[in-house]
Amino acid sequence: MRAEGVGIHYLFDRQQRTVSPTVAHIRRPGGDNWALADVSLEIGTGEAVALLGPSGSGKSTLLRTIAHVLEPDTGTMVTEGRLGSLLSIQAGVMAMLTGRENTMLLGVLSGMTPKQARAQMDEVKRRSGLDKHYERLVASYSQGMRARLGLSIMERTDPQILLLDEIHEALDHEFRDHLENYVNDLLAAGGIVVATGHDHPMLERFSTRALLLEKGRVVADGEFSEVQADYLGERTG
């Protein structure tokens, strides 16, 4: 996975709503912001990278750019391998669909054929431990249940690059252990993990490297403990 000079640019109208460049021509401008600016990095196989930094520093934006959810406004982002991501607070599942219907939809969107996605349904139900809730609307789920469903579906798509944005913090202890084991297995198989969150002890357990982001720029890159010390040192002055 390689990023070269990646920038993500947000434009706002006068009411501070995010607008696309096309609409920015029509509406009165309200300023702009580079959520990521000139980010260059390379992550090799078997690496687990933790993204550290204060809220609004660009951690989530970087994860979404790696996932190709956001496309760079400058620079290039190249990823090789199947992506699995849990990046939104809803864990990437649709509230008005049941667990089973989400499995079908997300399975197909992730690259499975409908037949393959259908074949995974009972396994996702078992792994997520949702039991009868699996047949109910996700709108009735707690955040932790959504995270379990999202994680169980994502696992079945067999990703080589795993992206996690705080979502693991919604999981209960049993599922956190499960996630850590899964991450370790993925890394042992030559996969890549990029994660962010405020649970530093957990990030430290599986990370081989950390990046510190500040105002959309990577300001430190190295061993987790060193980068964490930079971050915490800055915060405490």
Partner 1 sequence: MNDLGSRIAPLTRRLQILLALARSDLHIRYGRGRGQLIQWIVDPFALVGVYLLLRLMFDRGGEAPGLMLACAVVPFQIILFSCISAMSAVSLREPILMNMSFDRMLIPPSSVVTESLAFAASFVMFPIAMIIYGVGPHLSLLWLPVVVAVALILALGAAWPAALIGLWFPAVRTLASQGLRLLFFAAPGIVALSEVSDDVERWIVYNPFTGLFESFRHVFVYGDSPAFWQLAYPAAVGLALALVFVPLYRREERHFAKLVGDN
- Binding-site ranges for partner 1 (CB under 8 A): 8, 10, 18-23, 35, 60-61, 64, 67-71, 83, 85-97, 101, 104-106, 108-110, 113-114, 117, 150
Could you tell me the two tokens for 91?
Answer: 């864990």
The answer to whether 161 and 79 have CB atoms below 8 angstroms apart is yes
What is the sign, positive or negative, of the torsion defined by CA atoms of 202, 203, 207, 209? negative
Three-state secondary-structure class, residue 54: coil
CB of 68 to partner 1, least distance (A): 4
CB of 23 to partner 1, least distance (A): 5
Calpha distance 85→95 (Å, rounded): 18
CB of 113 to partner 1, least distance (A): 6
- Considering beta carbons, is residue 52 or 86 the nearer one to partner 1? 86
- Considering beta carbons, is residue 27 or 209 the nearer one to partner 1? 27
The DSSP bridge pattern shows strands 192-196 and 48-52 to be parallel
The answer to whether 36 and 7 have CB atoms below 8 angstroms apart is yes
Which helix (H) or strand (E) is 78 found in, with range? strand 74-78
- Considering beta carbons, is residue 67 or 218 the nearer one to partner 1? 67
- Considering beta carbons, is residue 109 or 189 the nearer one to partner 1? 109
CB of 58 to partner 1, least distance (A): 10
- Considering beta carbons, is residue 20 or 236 the nearer one to partner 1? 20
Backbone angles phi, psi at 4, to 5 degrees: -130, 115
CB of 107 to partner 1, least distance (A): 8
